Amino acid sequence: MPTTDTAASSGSGFASASVPRHLARGGVGFGALIAAFALIPVFGPATLLLAPVGLVALRGCPMCWAIGLAETVSRGRLRRECTDGRCELKPASR
C-alpha cells in the first residue's frame, strides 16, 4: 500500500509559514551577523552581542536558513510516495 507525505505535514523544523516571512528572518539574521563584525571598529566588541541575535533569527546557521527557504518554497508543491521500500517525489495533486 503506498504512503504519501506532503511537505506541509512532514513536520520540518526549518520551513516558515510564508516566503516573505522567511526572507525577513534571513534579512534580520544576516544583517545582525554582518553588523556584529562590521561595526567592531566603530563601537567596539559590544557589537558582537548581535551575533547570537543573527543566529537565532537564522535558526542556528546560514545553511539551516537556506534549507528552510527551499522547504518553504516547495511546501505543498511536492509529495513523497513510497511503494515497496522505494520512495519518489511527485507533484502534489491540487
Helix residue spans in 1-94 (DSSP H): 19-38, 40-43, 50-57, 62-74
Is 5's pLDDT higher than 50?
no
- Is a pLDDT exceeding 90 seen at residue 32? yes
Residue 3 has pLDDT above 60, yes or no: no
- pLDDT, position 91: 81
CA–centroid distance for 35 within its chain: 21
Distance of CA 17 to the CA centre of its chain: 10
Q: Which of 3-7, 12-16, 70-74 has the lowest mean pLDDT?
A: 3-7
User: pLDDT per residue over 44-87, tens digit each?
Assistant: 999 999 999 999 999 888 998 998 898 888 887 777 788 888 88
| Domain segments of the chain as ranges | 15-78
